[in-house]
Amino acid sequence: MATYRKFVFVCTGSDCKRNGCKSFLKEVKNLVKMDSHKGKYKIVKTKCMDFCKSGPIAVYNNEVIKNGSIEELRGKF
């Protein structure tokens, strides 16, 4: 049976792309791959989530992480 995983949504819409979502996505991937987090999280790439001005953005646990702040996301894990 599949184990329960938490979702991390990362916007890859055009405005976030312009604001550097690719490198942010890489950072999120590295964070999720860390030994203590392995297999617990699932990254989902999304289209625009209507926070374009604060991109790149991620949504985790119903909270929006703005400006590609990996530290903020790390604090919530």
Listed in sequence order, the residues at least 6 apart from 58 whose beta carbon sits closer than 8 Å to its beta carbon are 8, 9, 10, 11, 24, 28, 64, 65, 68, 73
Under the binding rule (CB under 6 A), the answer on residue 43 touching ligand FES is no
- Residue 6: beta bridge partners? 41
Binding track, positions 1-30, relative to ligand FES; x by CB under 6 A? ----------x-xxxx--------------
Under the binding rule (CB under 6 A), the answer on residue 52 touching ligand FES is yes
Please give the backbone phi and psi of residue 47, each rounded to the nearest 5 degrees, phi first: -85, -170
Binding track, positions 54-73, relative to ligand FES; x by CB under 6 A? -x-x----------------
Binding site residues, ligand FES, CB under 6 A: 11, 13-16, 48-52, 55, 57
